[in-house]
Structure 1
């Protein structure tokens, strides 16, 4: 890692030396959901070249952010998981997600949603203080081929892959869910525009979902082309 030194005696500089390389924080993002095999990481980050994934994992291990561990089953093999030091990045990654949300815009044709990216999106948007004042609920969320269960109990959120044994609300949606989370569309408007379809449960619970998972989009950041035209 010494070859990537910025020569700055600064915490930000040191952090960038450890996790600032391309793809590194997305690997951390997926490992914040749970331990992953090499093939799992490759599948979730489908555009990462194999040699880059291998290099980033080696670098993250050398920096003490990631370690290899035996599969927690009888099957042979290993997984990659975050160390205690690496798990300290959770608040950083969630804060980056909230900041990046302001500049996301509409998805391109090549953009994908994965179970891990959607899990972290829900964790990023979760508002514990609001959730604590509302009744507990279980939401089943379908975004394209991704199916997740978000269980809210007080200020605690648990997101698991797959359908719920019992859900209070089941919604089918796409990237337009961002407009509900940002407040650009009210739940009623989202249903009327078919951005969200309620397939089970009480549609009025979408109001509770929108309050529990909310990110303020804030001012739209200036784009370089907009500045050039002004």
Structure 2
């Protein structure tokens, strides 16, 4: 990796995560460990050779570590170190800033990118009076989203005692929350349709 050779903290941070794709790799492991193939699938515009190189660089910078899972998985995953986890606030701030930029005409959000977009666009005003635990089943990924007292949280895990269960994919959920597509009975596999409809309207797309 090239260095800016600049003692400023911004420059030193960019020495670690300023290469192309590096922060997107960080984005993809903010919500938990991922296997190499899952990272590659979530970043389809990135070649596997470049992904391998970025992971090595991020490991060398102490941002990411590789961990071997025991049986029955017997595979390796990549996860943030404690130092790397401190980048969450940086990534979320960039996401909020970037959400007001023009949307490119092509490309889809990865599942994790969509989940982070929900966090950055949640509107307490639109959620007023709503208290709900929602299980989002997005392909192979399952998340628990909770709205309570005007606060929103989401984590990668099945929900216990979910009020609503939505089963869809990232493209469909994006169209529901950001493009105003109507929710259908087919999207809601459990719970009250009205609560599900209110949930998907709590994430207004920011203006430019």
Task: Say whether the 8 Å CA contact 1:131–1:152 is kept in structure 2.
Answer: no
Match of 2:175 in 1: 176
1:136 shift after superposition: 2.2
Deviates more, 1:161-170 or 1:82-91: 161-170
Task: Say whether the 8 Å CA contact 1:170–1:198 is kept in structure 2.
Answer: no
The within-5 A match list for 1:1-230 is 1=1, 4-71=2-69, 73-105=71-103, 107-108=105-106, 111-127=107-123, 134-140=129-135, 149-154=143-148, 155-160=151-156, 166-168=162-164, 170=166, 173=172, 175-177=174-176, 179=178, 190=180, 195-199=181-185, 200=188, 201-203=192-194, 206-207=197-198, 209-211=200-202, 213-214=203-204, 216-217=206-207, 220=208
Task: Say whether the 8 Å CA contact 2:36–2:78 is kept in structure 1.
Answer: yes
Cα separation, partners in 2 of 1:56 and 1:113, compared to 1, 3 Å: same
TM-score by length of 1: 0.71
Separation in 2, partners of 1:37, 1:22: 20
Unaligned runs of 5+ in 1: 181-189, 221-230
1:122-165 CA distance string (max 9 Å, x none): 222235x659964421335577x687544215335124377987
Cα separation, partners in 2 of 1:96 and 1:205, compared to 1, 3 Å: same
How many residues end up aligned between the 2 structures?
Answer: 198
TM-score by length of 2: 0.77
Q: How well do the aligned residues superpose, as a CA RMSD in angstroms?
A: 3.1
1:56 shift after superposition: 0.3
In our comparison, the structure showing a higher alpha carbon Rg is 1
Unaligned runs of 5+ in 2: none
Separation in 2, partners of 1:104, 1:162: 34
Cα separation, partners in 2 of 1:85 and 1:72, compared to 1, 3 Å: farther
